[in-house]
Chains A and B, each alone.
Chain A
Amino acid sequence: MAERIDGVRKLFTSKSARVDTNRGDLYYQQLFDTCRARLDALREQPAVNRLDFDSLLTDEGQDRREFMKWVSAVTAMLMLPPMFTPLVAEAAELMNRLPVVWLELQDCAGNSEALLRSDGPKIDEIVLDIISLEFHESLMAPSGHQAEKQLEDAMEHFKGNYLLFVEGSIPVGAGRDWCTIGASGETFLDHLNRVAENAAAVVAVGACATFGGIPAAAPNPTGAVGVMDVVKGKPVINIPACPANPANMVGVVLHYALTGQVPELDSLLRPKFAFGYRIHDNCERRAHFDAGEYVEEWGDEGAKNNFCLYKMGCKGPMTFNNCSIVRYNEGVNWPIGVGRGCIGCSEPDFWDKYAYERPMANANIKAPTGGVEKTVDQFGLGLLTAAGIGIGIHAVASAVAGKREEGGEG
């Protein structure tokens, strides 16, 4: 209850979910000047690694034209007007000034995988290659005490400047003491808080780090929560989804490099440039939704014709994400594109409330009263039946009583 009250308070004090894509020339001119100054300052800073963006680009067989195409796409994704294109390009090149520390807590490493795995290095990846990943348990060569030392060094050296990426949820309940990190047996909770202390901002990636994800699904044995429930007094940016889309990670990092600030966030701390829209609004199957043409069964005629997946349990109408625009795997495809409904992986409590892969009306949804699993419709029909029985008893009793009265009178 306290959480909900807190949520309501936050809601009234946070900006509305509205996405504003045109703020007027004055605003953009001012932003442009800020970005210019920021990039100049960044250029002054020594690079934290020796990687050079241009040569990396050539090494990977990408040409400048390809890169500029990517830059204009990213500029549009960040909802900036075209005049920002050269600045975004510059920000990408200056990425080796940005130190990043990456923590993995209760997770499956899916977000790291999403970032790394692909058929061939594309520009997103090159950009992420060049940020100076100072610490990442799964990717770094050192281990044990050496790894710990590296983290301490990075925290000391880049105090107040590094971006902290967090993947995985944090157990704060019963699981608090089971999950420890390093030789000293520091709990996830203490570890995160300590590393976040000196970060410039904290970026929670994936469903688990943002809203607890699968570890927090009922009955949540470890008492898992998301980063924003733990880290206080630091800007937190949530990039939910399972896994988080690398395009959105790049977007946030670029935005930070460009402006020195976190992007505009919605009430769930998700950047609006990525989470301002519903899947449903940009879905290629939307015409079929409006037409009432649905896949009724896997592999049926409707499925062959790419009909809407709503009746197969698609949660697109209440899920906010840009998968329908930027897609996954280098923009090749996305779940609905392969004939599978959205399971709402970028929403809070997605495993309990969205992910049932059944049509919504057939789903066993937890009753709002908690505990009992019961569908809403069964509940409703039960209530109506109870009322009907009550009415029936009263009506019969009334009829009998009425007769008696009349009999008495007559």
Chain B
Amino acid sequence: MKSGRKQVKRMTGAMRIIHWANAISMVAAVITGLYIGHPYYQTLIADGAVDKYVMAWNRWGHFIVAIIFDVTSIVVAYLYFFSRFEKPYKKLIPNGKNVTEFGEVLLNLVTLNRRKKFDSTHSDSFNTVYFAIFHLLLVWMLFTGLQLYVHGLESGESSIGAWWPAMLHLVTDWTIPITGGSLMDVRISHHVTMWLIVTWVAFHIYYQIWRTIFWKEGDIAIVFGGSKFAKEQES
């Protein structure tokens, strides 16, 4: 540890598990989702259908990671407000302090760290807003995905009871008129949102690495060990 720096705990064990569960799920969801949209690899065409379930396995994988995603989204939504550790929603309130901080972090990014007038010890409002956008995109994926899915439970029955499809209809049917009136619109929106998320991820990874290099506070370690380092306050 460099002198003059103190270790700050930034992510609890649970938060790190959620982070990596999300990251792995996302990679799996994108790969299987691209296959579902356009089955790009083929099976040996002459075999019987009995012993290979290529599309079915892709859909299986897609749905399993989607469910993991959905459940972690609920946990994250809870943590937003009730975490005993950090309550992200406090950074989302557009009050003067947060708006200024948001601007400062953005300026820090575009001036390439020439100007840094905010406390980077804890999550700043820029990053919190950025993550909030991500979570909104995920929630949208959740609703549109479940809408596309529920129609496979054709008769209103499912292995866990009739309540499940009934609830899915109740909770996700509104996505049809919102996206343009047909299931195809829901599908397109689900697909476009995937690209938005992939783009989000690209910037996310870049930004975390950039901060690690330029701030010299070990930000990338947050997601592995749970803590980063902050300069001791000069007194």
Contacts and interface: CB of A to CB of B under 8 A. Distances in A.
Interface of A: 4, 7-8, 10-12, 16-21, 267, 276-278, 281, 287-294, 296, 301-302, 305, 307, 310-311, 315, 318, 320, 344, 347-349, 353-354, 359-362, 365, 368, 376-377, 379-381, 383-384, 387-388, 390-391, 394-395, 397-398, 401-402
B184 A293 contact: no
16 contacts: A4-B177, A16-B166, A16-B173, A267-B176, A277-B155, A278-B151, A290-B56, A307-B45, A310-B39, A318-B184, A347-B184, A360-B38, A362-B38, A384-B198, A391-B206, A401-B113
Contacts of A362: 38
B99 to A, nearest CB: 23
B184 A344 contact: yes
Residue among A290, A315, A395 with most chain B CB within 10 A? A290
Top 3 A-B residue pairs of the complex, sorted by shortest distance between their CB atoms: A292-B54, A380-B195, A361-B38
Contacts of B184: 315, 318, 344, 347, 349, 353-354
A398 B114 contact: no
Contacts of A7: 176-177, 181
Interface residues of B, number: 56
Counting chain B CB atoms within 10 Å of each CB, the highest count among A12, A17, A292, A354 belongs to: A292
Contacts, number: 168
Contacts of B39: 292, 294, 310-311
Interface stretch (B67-75, B81-89, B129-137, B186-194): B186-194
Interface in B48-65: 49, 52-56, 58
A267 B173 contact: yes
Given A287-B49, A291-B43, A353-B182, A398 B154 contact: no
A398 B192 contact: no
A376 B49 contact: no
Residue of A8, A18, A288, A391 with most chain B CB atoms under a 10 A cut-off: A18
A395 B210 contact: yes
A17 B167 CA distance: 11
Contacts of B176: 7, 11, 267
Contacts of B178: 4, 8
A302 B47 CA distance: 11
Q: Is the interface of A mostly helix, strand, loop or mixed?
A: helix
Nearest to B41: A292
Given A12-B174, A20-B156, A376-B191, A294 B181 contact: no
Interface in B139-197: 148, 151-152, 154-156, 165-166, 169-170, 173-174, 176-185, 187-189, 191-192, 194-196
Contacts of B38: 311, 359-362
Interface of B: 37-39, 42-43, 45-46, 49, 52-56, 58, 109, 112-114, 148, 151-152, 154-156, 165-166, 169-170, 173-174, 176-185, 187-189, 191-192, 194-196, 198-199, 202-203, 206, 210, 213-214
A311 B56 CA distance: 15
Contact of B55 (A289, A348, A380): A289
A292 B55 contact: yes
Contacts of B42: 292, 294, 296
B210 A347 contact: no
B169 A18 contact: yes
A354 B179 CA distance: 15
A154 to B, nearest CB: 35
Contacts of A394: 109, 112, 206, 210
Contacts of A395: 206, 210
B154 A291 contact: no
A353 B113 contact: no
A98 B53 CA distance: 51
A394 B210 CA distance: 10
A238 to B, nearest CB: 13
Given A18-B156, A292-B54, A296-B42, A376 B214 contact: no
